[in-house]
Amino acid sequence: MLVREIYNATQGNPLFIDEILKNLQRDGVLYINDSGRWHIEHNDGDYSHIQIPSSIRDVSSEQAGRLNAAQKRLMETLSVFTASVSIAELAACSGMDEAEASAVADECAALGYVSRTNYRGGLRYSKRL
């Protein structure tokens, strides 16, 4: 059973479970069908084709591998700040112009990695892995 495999891999860590489920959704393995129920692609009871990362570090590495070059640069730049940072500051530190930094920030926000804040009109990580 997939639930048991996920639980065994994560030891019940809610953050780890959440990230695995997000990856399964992103990969199209887990989705909501037309009747509004969760469905697993190719659900014949054999889950050996489903890759479950063995650690939260593996999940983070896999997620970082999905980012394009501009997204990686923005995330790397954002990682040195301990608080919310403005788009202007982020642009200056990343070598992007403000329009590009704002557009890339929106892409990263759509992926769930950053969120806009009211403080200084900036960005912050949505989650710390």
Q: Give the chain's domains with CATH numbers.
A: 2-54 (no CATH), 67-125 (1.10.10.10)
Report pLDDT for 13.
Answer: 86
Q: Across residues 10-20, what is the average pLDDT?
A: 84
Could you give the 3-state DSSP secondary structure of residue 123? Answer: strand
State the pTM of this model: 0.61
Q: Across residues 55-71, what is the average pLDDT?
A: 80
123 pLDDT above the threshold of 80: no
Q: Which position has the higher pLDDT, 58 or 73? A: 73
Predicted confidence band at 129 (pLDDT cuts at 50, 70, 90)? very low
pLDDT digits (tens, 9 = 90+) for 67-95: 899 999 998 898 888 788 888 998 999 99
Q: What is the rounded (10 degree) CA torsion for 59, 62, 63, 67?
A: 170
Amino acid (1-letter code) at residue 83: A
